[in-house]
Chains A and B, each alone.
Chain A
Amino acid sequence: MSGLAAEFAAEAAFVGAAGRLREVGVRRIEAYTPYPVEALDELLPLPFNFLPVLVFAAGVLGLAGGFLLQWYGAAVSYPLDIGGRPPASWPAFIPIAFEIAVLCAVLAGFVGFFAAARLPKPYQPIAALPNFDRASQDRFLLVVDEADPRFAEADVAAVLREFPCRVVQWQPS
């Protein structure tokens, strides 16, 4: 995307500007910050986050799969008669089923995060923005897409200038 990039040195001004842009109806905004800024969660709503559902589903599958694996191995495929104990003694299967469930859930959470965040990515076009390397350290960036229907009408540049920041034109090469 191309448009305007504004660089802030303080969180307060950055959150204020994001709020003002939202007020004037601009929606296509991306923010880059050195740490998660909680106020953005309301200002820049994101589509439904499927990670918790994915992790839960993987955990349930792991639990069921781990349990079935043990039941099949110990009761069907190779039952051992040890002192007449029942081969399908399910309480003994709980610990391993739990461990496999956690393993599956953790793997799903990790892989799901990288997939949803579209990582790893060897080249991020936005990294070409001058001073972008400060966004992981001590600067806050707002990038407004000029394809936003309200971009011209809301006069994004004027809104941004209400706050202490440095505005540059952003055009990916």
Chain B
Amino acid sequence: MHAVDRAPVMLPGQDLATIDRAVGDAVLQPRERLGPRWWWWGGFTISVALTAAFILAVEYLFIAGVGIWGIDIPVAWGFAIANYVWWIGIASGGTIISALFYLTQSEWRSAVNRIAESMTLVAAAAAGIMPILHLGRPSFFYWLFPIPNTMGLWPQFKSPLLWDFFAILTYVTASILFWFLGLLPDLAMVRDRATTRRSRLIYGILAMGWTGSHRQWRLHKTAYGLLASLMAPLVVSVHSIVGLDFSGGLLPGWHSTQFSPFFVFGAVLSGFATVLLLVVPLRRLYRLEACITQRHVDLLVTFLLLCSLLLAYSYFVDTLLPFYGDDRFERATALHRFTGAWAWSYWGAWGLNVVIPQILWFRPLRRDWLICFVAFGVVVGMWFERIMLVASSLYEDFLPSAWGHFVPTLWDWLTLFGSAGMAATGFFLFLRYLPVVAAFEIKEILPPDRRHG
């Protein structure tokens, strides 16, 4: 079972000082440490432009209402819901890496968990906005909270849509706190390395007076372990509840008992793909090859392949069951997915999420550009899956007289790409201003004879 030639988790020759230089100076003296960062400026500019487009699209949506999108009856759930499920799925992968692999004490997690968690934050933020945009009357969003009101009304606690609200509320809050808790010791490291008064002050405030005393470390380890053990089941519950949003409906193609695990598999697949898409170029751009080695890339690819196979099983079951049972509407929807108006998204999901990733089983093919290509394909393919599940069940359901079509408008597309720009803007700011690798965790896994300054 042991792999043939395992690359090490860390290249030799590292010690405490080299790690601080690699991580801390990328924040404090990026020009000296990383050289010209045209990629950062280019990416940031595009992201900000897309964010501006997103703000425009949301502004117009708030003025004119959801009619500016292509949604109507029967396809009342369109891009906003597909985007929501897609984003929250991408976010889940980051939490799996940072929480679940912390509990399994996987050493390789330490070098990539900060990137994964930060990706989770921006993706969860993009996800959280979507249902509010979809509400139609977003100013009544607060009705989802069980707060006393003059009408004596309560939210419908038995609806999966409300479960979803509580799940997202908990998930976003917990993700931010978990991320900040893990960041705290590194903020203190940056504070202590800072040379200018301004950065000393800012990182000093953020580090909150962390000294790294034995007592603080013990409490930190306990708190981090507790939060990790809460986050791991939480993330599974969040995406299971997203699956229940669909299963709770009676529509053919939605009313399925396997949706919760099916959604979790897809979520983790898209999350791992996004982490790969970020980690593979960043380890070169940030000159972190010593901490983020080929081993990390190989492990992430392995998990991507595992999730891809799990998802293939779910796709297979989802396609098979209508023909195993005798519900003619389920069967008709399955056939519509094969050949109907949304067939491109059905076959696209199979191709991009299941078929193409399998080429990564061949080690010689695991080149940076090909891994990025496959990972990007999975990210796109998972969006295909989400829009396929949302639209193909709605547009031709029971009575042919009630069938309709969904054609996305410019505003739909601006919302999709704009939300990607918003998430990317957040991530670029993280890259510029915060340590991209958990330096103290890397120090912890140094070989004993290298733990010196």
Contacts and interface: CB of A to CB of B under 8 A. Distances in A.
Interface of A: 9-12, 30-37, 40-41, 44, 46, 49, 51-52, 55, 59, 69-70, 73-74, 77-78, 80, 89, 92-93, 95-96, 98-100, 102-103, 105-107, 109-110, 112-114, 116-117, 119-124, 126-127, 133-139
Given A12-B448, A41-B218, A120-B209, 12 more contacts: A30-B214, A32-B211, A49-B219, A55-B230, A80-B156, A99-B169, A99-B234, A102-B230, A102-B234, A134-B192, A137-B24, A137-B192
B152 A103 contact: no
B451 A55 contact: no
A70 B157 contact: yes
Given A51-B226, A99-B166, A138-B17, A32 B192 contact: no
B226 A74 contact: no
Nearest to B194: A133
A136 B188 contact: yes
A137 B191 CA distance: 10
B170 A33 contact: no
A120 B241 CA distance: 36
A100 B163 CA distance: 10
Interface string B217-237: 111111100110011011001
A77 B226 contact: no
A134 B453 contact: yes
A124 B157 CA distance: 48
Given A73-B157, A96-B162, A138-B16, A119 B170 contact: no
B219 A31 contact: no
Contact of A100 (B160, B166, B189): B166
B163 A116 contact: no
24 contacts: A31-B213, A33-B212, A33-B214, A34-B212, A34-B440, A35-B441, A36-B218, A37-B217, A78-B154, A89-B158, A95-B241, A106-B170, A106-B177, A112-B223, A113-B220, A119-B209, A121-B208, A121-B209, A126-B213, A135-B211, A136-B189, A136-B211, A138-B17, A138-B453
Interface of B: 15-17, 20, 24, 146, 152-158, 160, 162-163, 166-167, 169-170, 173-174, 177-178, 181, 185, 188-189, 191-193, 208-223, 226-227, 230-231, 233-234, 237, 241, 244, 440-441, 443-444, 448-449, 451-453
Contacts of B237: 95, 98-99, 102
A73 B158 contact: no
Contacts, number: 190
Given A31-B213, A105-B230, A136-B188, A95 B166 contact: yes
A34 B218 CA distance: 13
Contacts of B227: 106, 109-110
A92 B231 CA distance: 22
Nearest to B173: A103
B212 A124 contact: no
Contacts of B174: 102-103, 106
Contact of A117 (B158, B192, B216, B440): B216
A118 B102 CA distance: 25
A96 B209 contact: no
Contacts of A110: 177, 181, 223, 227
B259 to A, nearest CB: 14
Contacts of B222: 49, 51-52, 113
Given A109-B226, A138-B453, A49 B218 contact: yes
A73 B146 contact: yes
A141 B215 CA distance: 13
Contacts of B146: 69, 73
A31 B214 contact: yes
A70 B157 CA distance: 6
A148 to B, nearest CB: 16
A46 B214 contact: yes
